[in-house]
Chain A
Amino acid sequence: MAGRNRLPRGGRVDRSKSVSIAFNGRTLAGFAGDTVASLLIAHDIHFVGRSFKYHRPRGFLSHGSDEPNALLSVDRGPGKIDPNNRATVAEAREGLVTHSQNHWPSLDFDVGAINDVLSPVFVAGFYYKTFMWPRRFWDSVYEPKIRAAAGLGRAPTEPDADRYANRHAHCDVLVVGAGPAGLAAALAASETGKRIFLADEQAEMGGTLLHDRTSMIDGKPAQDWVAEALAELRARGNVTLLPRTTAFGYYNHNHIALAERITDHLADAPAHMPRERLWQIRAAEVVLATGAHERPLVFADNDRPGILLAESVRAFINRYAVAPGRRIVFVTNGASAYAAALDAADAGLDVTLVDIRPEGDCGPELAALRAKGVTALTGHTVLAATGTRRVTGLAVAPVSPEGKIGARKILAADCVGMSGGWTPSVHLFSQSRGKLRFDPALDAFVPDQPVQATRSAGAANGRYDLSEILAEGFAAGSAAAGDSATRTFAATPTPTGFLPVRALPTDADPARIKAFIDFQNDVTAKDIHLAVREGFESVEHVKRYTTTGMATDQGKSSNMNALGLVAGILDKPLPTVGTTTFRPPYTPVTFGTLIGPSRDALFDPARKTPIHGWAEEQGARFEDVGLWKRAWYFPRGDEDMREAVARECAAVREHVGIFDASTLGKIEVVGPDAAEFMNRIYVNGWLKLEPGRCRYGLMLKEDGYILDDGVVARLAPDRFHVTTTTGGAPRVLAHMEDYLQTEWPELEVFLTSTTEQFAVIAVQGPKARDLIAPLVTGIDLANDAFPHMAVRTGFICGVPTRLFRVSFTGELGFEINVPADYGRAIWEAIFARGAAFGLTPYGTEAMHVLRAERGFVIIGQETDGTVTPDDLGLGGMIARTKPDFVGKRSLARPDLVAPGRKQLVGILADDPTLLLDEGAQIVADRDQPIPIHALGHVTSSYWSPACDRSIALALVESGRARIGSEVFVTTPSSFTKATVTAPSFFDAEGKRVHA
């Protein structure tokens, strides 16, 4: 049974294919082509949800994407449940499970409906006024309670089981909207052979023509014209049609974001197909044929289920062949609703029409309707709707031109179609930064001058007559494609007479009625009055105070009514009150669509070194350093981190350790001016560095603060192998390129990133040389031939290597650079020899401890973008004789040479077992009055196996002068006493590296 309100004939539903869906546990049958809304209406179900604030019964207001009321939770299976689906947009398909929202315990009996009775309390801004005190109640009581009561729908609890896709595309003309204007535009544009995209949010293209039974275009019924136009477009190879695709964001350079819904309407979608696809289209030209939204009328209890927009009543009857009611009263202030009334009468329904306009202001549509035998009351207002869970009638009364209300009478009705006029859908045009112009005749804002290569056509441009819409669409499409073709279309004239009204005249006390402006956020005319009375005059303020237009429907049905009401109360011309700015998205977009494939393994590139797999097999724990995964430590058995790190550190100091340093940034600096370039980029001097030698380099930003550091090898007079920090690699290369290209283009030098060309294996410890010696050929490893801070090229296991003798641990050490694909084999060859030497793999944590014991700094740990070389005690590295280098002038700034700067020191807590917190504040006197003056903070803090105690590095005001003095360091509960030391705790003379 397809529902008792299913009309016996007509509509675009496929009566040969039945579908059934569940609503609140009831299984209901319908046809393919139904939306959830039309299917429910077929079964005479209008009451489908409770409103946001007052929990009032609500039904369908519209038939499209502007729907504010009928928001359902839709369940497509595990992990595929989401709330707030508009029933008027969701397509009915076999097995769909839907539920109403915002009620407890049930839709029919809802405790929250008490809010409707208490509404005098819940006026605009009520919680700012109500929950003022006691102050401490805000955090503990008010806010949690308000948050629990607020919100619409339940967020899904399971991870989304669907996949989502992303696609970039380019075209010459993008047409948004496939109603009459959009179809005509696409036809015209595609005649040129250029690439055309036509996107429409609905399942079927054709827009309003899909529910137009009577209009003729060029001698054909409108729906036949649509079918022929679509067949023609499909036949053209240069046209891409995107149905079910909402253009929701209009960004710079005609970059349009669209959401395509691919599988939601399929009962048996193949698992591999994405649920939705985000299209990012860059169009040379855009035609916006986005149509218009109908406005509700503002009268008491205009939100009762069964009260719909007039055009939506027409769409449900004509397109879906369902009767929203058997006894329908249309209420209107313009001509467009007459078409709906005529169609309803033709469908055999009992129809009455109430027109606010005086008889004399009505056009020929009035006589046409009466000729059909339909009762039409002109010059009448609606005082209120009756009924609660379903409209039962309308109280109407004549209203004189002076506004005097006559005797009321009740018109019985089970459905009301209201029309307050039309608002062009200028959302995308506004997003494109185009300015709007107020057209008083239309009582609406229409597109004015565009800012981007865009043009609006049809109802979106304030054009409502069908032949005008078609002609304007055609001309816009042709112009967008660079042509100037025009066409006239012979179409049935569209009556467009219209008298703007705000809230309908009433004899009731306006403070005692609820006449809704914003249905989704439950904002009434009374709320707007209150806001204006309290001094809010700009619509931007009224909007925020009352929340009108701020729901997910972005006020598509409510904005103009709110604006008009504010202007009316203030007695100002409407444009001076302003219009709100439209922002993406046009309609709600799923997070999945925005994210696309960027989840799980594709969330971010997980950069792994060639040796990563080995570390993984050894049970290493990893840490993230930028996008890199670095081996953090290698626990054995049930060691915890501190035990593992202590063992790894001890192995390096006593025997030998092996460490994956592949992530270090590497830049090859090549050219005759390479040394000069290095001289300008770094603080140190490079001209005298001989090929085969290394130097620790420090570079500054223009402001004199340290940017990065690293060991640099000179491979040849014109070739340097620069290393940077892991995280700093891209930054440093960009910094170097910036100066090379913009400041020193005359220098003959080129930069190439070689970070990933090499795997880097650090072998560190007293036995390092003995361990690698048999594997290395072509390099004399003897201490005299290959001293500390030297570089040689040769072979290891037959693989070419750049072998550095460098140390970041304070031990004798080598860093073996080999082509990346050989990294793991060389690592394993070294490891295979290691057992006899006590070789131990160590991770980044042990590396940090070992360097801190020696007082070597880490960029980003001891530095924070405000630290100079001298602050770190590295002032001696600055080549004073160099005429210039990046940051040199800044180092002479008064504040950089002023006494009292924070300097790098060591900190030893009096309690050697106490590990200070990194970031802990350091003070001279714990008893000084608050605010206590902080001297600085701890930058690094570790347990040092070599010292058998805790150690810390810190930046402390005039730190070097304080060495030996006592300070206090904050702990989570208090202060602890500590002593300032030199920033080196082990082998202070640095002899071990020369072993």
Chain B
Amino acid sequence: MLEIAKEAARAAALDPDAATPAIAPMPPATRFALRMRPETATEIGSVAGFQLDLPINRASLGPRLAARLGPNEWLLIAEDGETEAIEAEIASALGERFHALVDISHRNVGLSVRGAQAADMLNAGCPLDLSTDALPAGSATRTLLGKAEIVLIHEDDAPTYRVECWRSFAPYVHGFLQEAARDFDGG
């Protein structure tokens, strides 16, 4: 079975070689949409290394990233290939507590946007206030970039942002950011 698996090559939605210092497609990752009642998250605090008892629109960063996008909704991101392990960990940790865990590793595509102009590039299509007062590092929110829905995670004050979008929107989101970047570097 493993031999056959090698035949089935994985093809990312974006060419990883299309990276620039400012805008880079991110490598494949394990992702889950995790849903549970807010009180359950308060009760258990964290699960499988993902901190869940966060304020809404905050993320706990690190190799196991949890972004609370709503009262009962978390986006979990981890290293590629951890799907089954994380599923098992979460299942045993939550037991009979009502929750929904859905694998969306391939649904989303990640892009890293960084540098002094990152916020301005994002603001070419994102109507949110990206100042550090309004969206400090550690913030995460669902929003828009031009005509595409994205999840925006402000990772650090370099600044680095992680943009997550659905797979078929990735070429648009990538192209939109590249076009916005031309204002600054002549790209």
Residues of A participating in the B interface, judged by any CB pair closer than 8 Å: 163, 165-170, 195, 270-274, 277, 280, 282, 596-598, 601-602, 604-610, 627-628, 668, 670-672, 748-750, 752-758, 775, 777, 795, 797-799, 819-826, 829
Chain A residues with Cβ below 8 Å from B33 are 752
Expressed in whole angstroms, the Cα–Cα distance for A829 and B3 within the complex equals 14
Chain A residues with Cβ below 8 Å from B111 are none
CB distance from A526 to the nearest CB of B (A): 50
Chain B residues with Cβ below 8 Å from A757 are 102-107
Chain B residues with Cβ below 8 Å from A775 are 4
Expressed in whole angstroms, the Cα–Cα distance for A40 and B99 within the complex equals 74
Chain B residues with Cβ below 8 Å from A168 are 123-128
Q: What are 8 pairs between A and B in contact, CB < 8 Å?
A: A601-B172, A609-B168, A610-B167, A777-B4, A820-B167, A821-B12, A821-B106, A829-B8
Smallest CB-CB A-B distances: 4 pairs: A798-B5, A670-B100, A607-B168, A750-B100
Taking a contact as CB atoms under 8 Å apart, the answer to whether A602 and B168 are in contact is no
Chain B residues with Cβ below 8 Å from A597 are 124-125, 146, 176, 179-180
Expressed in whole angstroms, the Cα–Cα distance for A920 and B108 within the complex equals 44
Q: Which residues of B, 32-88, contact A by the 8 Å Cβ criterion?
A: 33, 35, 72
Taking a contact as CB atoms under 8 Å apart, the answer to whether A797 and B8 are in contact is yes
CB distance from A904 to the nearest CB of B (A): 33
Chain A residues with Cβ below 8 Å from B18 are none
Expressed in whole angstroms, the Cα–Cα distance for A749 and B72 within the complex equals 11
Taking a contact as CB atoms under 8 Å apart, the answer to whether B186 and A822 are in contact is no
Chain B residues with Cβ below 8 Å from A748 are 98
Expressed in whole angstroms, the Cα–Cα distance for A384 and B104 within the complex equals 78
Chain A residues with Cβ below 8 Å from B131 are 170, 195
Name which residue of chain B comes closest to A799, CB basis.
B8
Expressed in whole angstroms, the Cα–Cα distance for A18 and B97 within the complex equals 78
Chain A residues with Cβ below 8 Å from B171 are 605-606, 608
Chain B residues with Cβ below 8 Å from A824 are 11
Known A754-B102, A757-B103: A607·B175 in contact at CB below 8 Å: no
Q: Which residues of B, 103-145, contact A by the 8 Å Cβ criterion?
A: 103-108, 120, 123-129, 131, 134
Taking a contact as CB atoms under 8 Å apart, the answer to whether B11 and A825 are in contact is yes
Expressed in whole angstroms, the Cα–Cα distance for A340 and B176 within the complex equals 50
Chain B residues with Cβ below 8 Å from A821 are 10-13, 28, 106
Residues of B participating in the A interface, judged by any CB pair closer than 8 Å: 1-13, 28, 33, 35, 72, 98-108, 120, 123-129, 131, 134, 146-148, 166-169, 171-173, 175-176, 179-180, 182-183, 185-187
Known A668-B102, A670-B100, A748-B98: A606·B172 in contact at CB below 8 Å: yes
Taking a contact as CB atoms under 8 Å apart, the answer to whether A822 and B10 are in contact is yes
Interchain CB contact (< 8 A) of B168 among A166, A169, A170, A608: A608
Taking a contact as CB atoms under 8 Å apart, the answer to whether B4 and A607 are in contact is no
Interchain CB contact (< 8 A) of A165 among B3, B124, B166: B124
Chain B residues with Cβ below 8 Å from A167 are 120, 123-124
Taking a contact as CB atoms under 8 Å apart, the answer to whether B172 and A605 are in contact is yes
Chain A residues with Cβ below 8 Å from B176 are 597, 602
Known A272-B186, A671-B100: A819·B168 in contact at CB below 8 Å: no
Expressed in whole angstroms, the Cα–Cα distance for A671 and B187 within the complex equals 48
Expressed in whole angstroms, the Cα–Cα distance for A601 and B172 within the complex equals 8
Expressed in whole angstroms, the Cα–Cα distance for A130 and B6 within the complex equals 81
Chain B residues with Cβ below 8 Å from A195 are 131
Name which residue of chain A comes closest to B129, CB basis.
A170
Expressed in whole angstroms, the Cα–Cα distance for A274 and B183 within the complex equals 7
Name which residue of chain A comes closest to B181, CB basis.
A272
CB distance from A842 to the nearest CB of B (A): 21
Taking a contact as CB atoms under 8 Å apart, the answer to whether A750 and B35 are in contact is yes
CB distance from B102 to the nearest CB of A (A): 4
| B146, B179, B183 interface centre (most CB from chain A within 10 Å) | B179
Interchain CB contact (< 8 A) of B175 among A272, A601, A671, A749: A601
Chain B residues with Cβ below 8 Å from A797 are 4-5, 7-8
| B28, B72, B104 interface centre (most CB from chain A within 10 Å) | B104
Taking a contact as CB atoms under 8 Å apart, the answer to whether B102 and A829 are in contact is no
Known A799-B8, A822-B8: A605·B167 in contact at CB below 8 Å: no
Taking a contact as CB atoms under 8 Å apart, the answer to whether A272 and B187 are in contact is yes
Taking a contact as CB atoms under 8 Å apart, the answer to whether A756 and B106 are in contact is yes
Name which residue of chain B comes closest to A610, CB basis.
B11
Expressed in whole angstroms, the Cα–Cα distance for A170 and B147 within the complex equals 20
Chain B residues with Cβ below 8 Å from A606 are 171-172
Taking a contact as CB atoms under 8 Å apart, the answer to whether B6 and A798 are in contact is yes
> Can you add 8 more A-B contacts, CB < 8 Å, to A597-B176, A608-B171, A821-B12?
A168-B125, A271-B186, A272-B185, A597-B124, A601-B172, A606-B172, A668-B100, A672-B98
Taking a contact as CB atoms under 8 Å apart, the answer to whether A670 and B102 are in contact is yes
Expressed in whole angstroms, the Cα–Cα distance for A795 and B179 within the complex equals 41
Chain A residues with Cβ below 8 Å from B179 are 163, 597, 602
Interchain CB contact (< 8 A) of A602 among B3, B99, B146: B146
Name which residue of chain A comes closest to B11, CB basis.
A824
Interchain CB contact (< 8 A) of A825 among B10, B106, B146: B10
Expressed in whole angstroms, the Cα–Cα distance for A822 and B7 within the complex equals 10
Expressed in whole angstroms, the Cα–Cα distance for A829 and B6 within the complex equals 12
Known A167-B123, A273-B183, A602-B179: A798·B107 in contact at CB below 8 Å: no
Taking a contact as CB atoms under 8 Å apart, the answer to whether A798 and B1 are in contact is yes
Expressed in whole angstroms, the Cα–Cα distance for A76 and B187 within the complex equals 23
Expressed in whole angstroms, the Cα–Cα distance for A530 and B33 within the complex equals 70
Name which residue of chain B comes closest to A262, CB basis.
B183
Known A752-B35, A825-B9: A598·B146 in contact at CB below 8 Å: yes
Chain A residues with Cβ below 8 Å from B13 are 610, 820-821
Expressed in whole angstroms, the Cα–Cα distance for A753 and B148 within the complex equals 16
CB distance from A623 to the nearest CB of B (A): 16
Expressed in whole angstroms, the Cα–Cα distance for A546 and B104 within the complex equals 62
Taking a contact as CB atoms under 8 Å apart, the answer to whether A169 and B102 are in contact is no
Name which residue of chain A comes closest to B6, CB basis.
A798
Chain A residues with Cβ below 8 Å from B35 are 670, 750, 752
Chain A residues with Cβ below 8 Å from B146 are 597-598, 602
CB distance from A685 to the nearest CB of B (A): 23
CB distance from A597 to the nearest CB of B (A): 5
Chain B residues with Cβ below 8 Å from A277 are 183
Chain B residues with Cβ below 8 Å from A777 are 1, 4
CB distance from B132 to the nearest CB of A (A): 12
Expressed in whole angstroms, the Cα–Cα distance for A167 and B186 within the complex equals 17
Taking a contact as CB atoms under 8 Å apart, the answer to whether B106 and A819 are in contact is yes
Interchain CB contact (< 8 A) of B102 among A165, A752, A823: A752
CB distance from B1 to the nearest CB of A (A): 5
Name which residue of chain B comes closest to A818, CB basis.
B8
Expressed in whole angstroms, the Cα–Cα distance for A535 and B39 within the complex equals 70
CB distance from A247 to the nearest CB of B (A): 17
Expressed in whole angstroms, the Cα–Cα distance for A165 and B121 within the complex equals 10
Known A597-B124, A605-B172, A755-B107: A270·B186 in contact at CB below 8 Å: yes
Chain A residues with Cβ below 8 Å from B3 are 798
Name which residue of chain B comes closest to A826, CB basis.
B8
Expressed in whole angstroms, the Cα–Cα distance for A556 and B16 within the complex equals 54
Chain B residues with Cβ below 8 Å from A670 are 35, 100-102
Expressed in whole angstroms, the Cα–Cα distance for A606 and B167 within the complex equals 11
Chain A residues with Cβ below 8 Å from B125 are 166, 168, 597
| A163, A274, A280, A797 interface centre (most CB from chain B within 10 Å) | A797
Interchain CB contact (< 8 A) of A282 among B102, B103, B129: B129
Taking a contact as CB atoms under 8 Å apart, the answer to whether A753 and B107 are in contact is yes
Taking a contact as CB atoms under 8 Å apart, the answer to whether A798 and B2 are in contact is yes
Chain A residues with Cβ below 8 Å from B169 are 605, 607
Name which residue of chain A comes closest to B125, CB basis.
A166
Expressed in whole angstroms, the Cα–Cα distance for A606 and B13 within the complex equals 13
Name which residue of chain B comes closest to A672, CB basis.
B98
Chain A residues with Cβ below 8 Å from B104 are 752, 754, 757
Interchain CB contact (< 8 A) of B124 among A166, A628, A820: A166
| A195, A755, A819, A824 interface centre (most CB from chain B within 10 Å) | A819
Interchain CB contact (< 8 A) of A272 among B98, B134, B168, B182: B182
CB distance from A733 to the nearest CB of B (A): 12
CB distance from A799 to the nearest CB of B (A): 5
Chain B residues with Cβ below 8 Å from A610 are 11, 13, 167
